[in-house]
Every structure is written in structure tokens, then in C-alpha cells.
Amino acid sequence: MKRIVWFSMIMVGLLWIFANIGFAAEMKTVVLMEYTSEPAKTTMRQQVLAGLAQAGFQENTNLKIVSFAAPRPEDWAEQVAQLAPDVVIEYSAETAVTAKTHELGIPTVTYWGTAPYVGPDGVPTANITGVYTAHKDTVYNSLKFLRMIAPLKPGQQAVFFENKQRVIFPKEEVLDALKRLDVPLKAIEDTTHYEDWQAALLKYNEDPEVGWLVVLAWPYLRRDGSIPDRNVEVAHWQRERLKKPYVTYWEITVQSGVLCGFVVDIDNVAFQLAEMAARVLKGEPIQAIKAEYPRKTLIALNRKTADFMGITFSLDVLNLANVIYNDYEGKEVIRKK
């Protein structure tokens, strides 16, 4: 009897060892390169985890998650190389991060600057695939939407605020969209640095010849290399001074005070990235995973900013809107299904 008990205990122990060996062998490592600002950072992470879970990968069960709020810490690239993850999911909104993961050669799915790493048919040319930043013709359609909200007066022109560090859409695409809409361009300002962005905004604020600003990305760095606070020094500073309308591509910046947005649903994109990453975790080569377009676009409005600028949203515009903010904190918001 004792022999049977001991034999049973040994068998249970061996089964536990083998089970855990199998578990360890199946454990996958995913690095998240996250957006730095709340609440987008939190909601995108939730959607990434939900997408991975739907594909059968649960954190702390068969999945190890390591997060970086890119681009900090400064030595993240070395840390990622040491981790040797199975895949990197990149939604930091920094093209430099994507470029660095390209150098590392680690399979990466990204929502920022995907196009340079895939061919015309969307097939990856290296170790990177992902979701394109926006749909085709996004600049044209967004400016067309801006014209519905704030039509230019006779003789008015646009000014393009070019950010050479954070290129969302090529300059040529912006110029082509303005030309197709018959919108004259007064000037192109280099607003890569925070100080130049401030100066340009104040310069054209009182110019009666300027009807629109074309701002694709807020400045990220000061001239001394330091990073301004996005909520206080960028968003808060802008909404207290800006008198010219422009359209943005991020819902969070509409909440922060930009008049309107022709935006990609970034939570939906995060889930999409997770689905693509799960294919890598299941053994599919990254080169077989074509880049995809975002699945959902939203129209976002900020009524408080409209009131400040003396703009009234038409009934047609309000009917088109998916999200309408009445404040800058996201407490008074209308969301349509």
C-alpha cells in the first residue's frame, strides 16, 4: 500500500514538472511601446491585452508583458535587445522608436510610420508591419471636412505648420490636398521645435489673410532638447490663445482643445495591432503579415473651442459627429454609437 502511495506521489510530481516545463516553453514575451499620455495610453493597453487574450494569450499565464513609455527610458533599445521578445507592439507615436526596432531586427507591429517598411502591396520588406497611420486621402478629406465647419472667407489662405521630426503625412500630400481644394497657401513654417511653434501660432493669429492652420503634429521638443508638458505647455497654452481653426487626427487633441478631428479610432487600432501580433506569437513570419488600414474613423468636435472661436456647428456637422466634447477634461462628452 505504501509503495502505491509513494508511486502515486512520484507520478504527480513528475506530471507537475513536465507540465511546468511545457508551460515555460510556451511562455511568450511581448514588449509594448506605449503612448505617453493618458487616457489614450491606458485604453490602448486595455485593447491590446483584450486582443491578445481573444487569440489565446493571457498575461502571466502564457504571456509576459514588458512595457516602455517611449521614448523614455533612454536606454530602452538596449533593454529590449536583452529581452529578445517574440514581438514588439509599438503605439508610442514616435517614428524614432519604429526606426530603432527596425535596427534591432525584432518582429514589430506598429501604428506609426508603417509605410516605409512595407511595399506598395503592404507586404513587409523587413521585420516591421502594422496599421497605416490613416486611410488613403485622409488629408484631403479632413480639410474638406474643415471647410464644412469653417469655410474660408474670400481672399483667405492657409499656413502649413511642418513638423520635420514627427511626419504623419508627407508634405507633398498636404500640398496636393490644398491644391485639389483650391485653397491658396500663404506660407510653410517649420514648427518642429516648441518655441518655433509658439512664435508661428502667435504670428498668424491676428493675420486676417489666414483662415486655416494646417497642423499635423504638435511640437515634441524644445531647442535645448527638453520635452514640454503636452497638457499644460502645449494644449493649455494653445487653447487660451489660438484663434484660427484646424483639423486634427487624434481624438485626444480634440478633447484638449482642437476645434475638430477627422480621427482614427485608436482603441480599435490597438485591438488590430494585437491581432497581428498574435499571428506572430503563433509562429507566422512577420513578412507574411500585410499592413492594414485602420478599420474605423471618427468625427470629433469640441463645442467649447467653437464657442471661443465664434464658430457655430451646423446641423449637418453635428449629425456627422461621433464624439462631441463640451469641455477640455472629457467629463461633458456625447458619444454616438
What does the pLDDT look like over 7-61, one tens digit per residue?
444 444 444 344 444 433 479 999 999 877 777 788 899 999 999 999 999 999 9
143 by Cβ neighbours in 10 Å (0-12 / 13-18 / 19+) ranks as buried
- Report the C-alpha gap between 185 and 156 in whole angstroms: 9
Per-residue model confidence (pLDDT) at position 9 = 43
Rounded mean pLDDT of the chain? 88
Strand 210-215, strand 185-190: pairing: unpaired
- Report the C-alpha gap between 234 and 314 in whole angstroms: 29
- Report the C-alpha gap between 248 and 245 in whole angstroms: 10
Q: Is the pLDDT of residue 319 over 70?
A: yes
Omega prior to 39 cis, within 30 of 0: yes
In this structure, what is the dihedral angle of CA atoms 202, 299, 137, 211, given to the nearest 10 degrees? Answer: -30
Per-residue model confidence (pLDDT) at position 167 = 78
Average pLDDT over residues 118-129: 94
- Report the C-alpha gap between 334 and 149 in whole angstroms: 18
Q: Is the pLDDT of residue 285 over 70?
A: yes
Average pLDDT over residues 296-302: 93
Predicted TM-score (pTM) of this structure: 0.78
For residue 54, what are the CA distances in angstroms to 51, 89, 280?
5, 16, 14
What cell numbers appear for 286 in the block? 512577420
- Report the C-alpha gap between 71 and 29 in whole angstroms: 20
Whether residue 95 contacts residue 76, with contact meaning beta carbons closer than 8 Å, is answered with no
- The residue among 202 and 266 whose pLDDT is bigger is 202
Backbone angles phi, psi at 102, to 5 degrees: -65, -45
Show the domains of the chain with their CATH numbers.
Answer: 2-132+267-288 (3.40.50.2300), 138-265+296-335 (3.40.50.2300)
Per-residue model confidence (pLDDT) at position 156 = 97
Average pLDDT over residues 225-233: 87
Omega prior to 219 cis, within 30 of 0: no
Q: Percentage of the chain with pLDDT > 90?
A: 67
Average pLDDT over residues 92-97: 81
Q: In which band, very low, low, confident or very high, does the pLDDT at 146 lie, cut at 50, 70 and 90?
A: very high
Whether residue 168 contacts residue 222, with contact meaning beta carbons closer than 8 Å, is answered with no
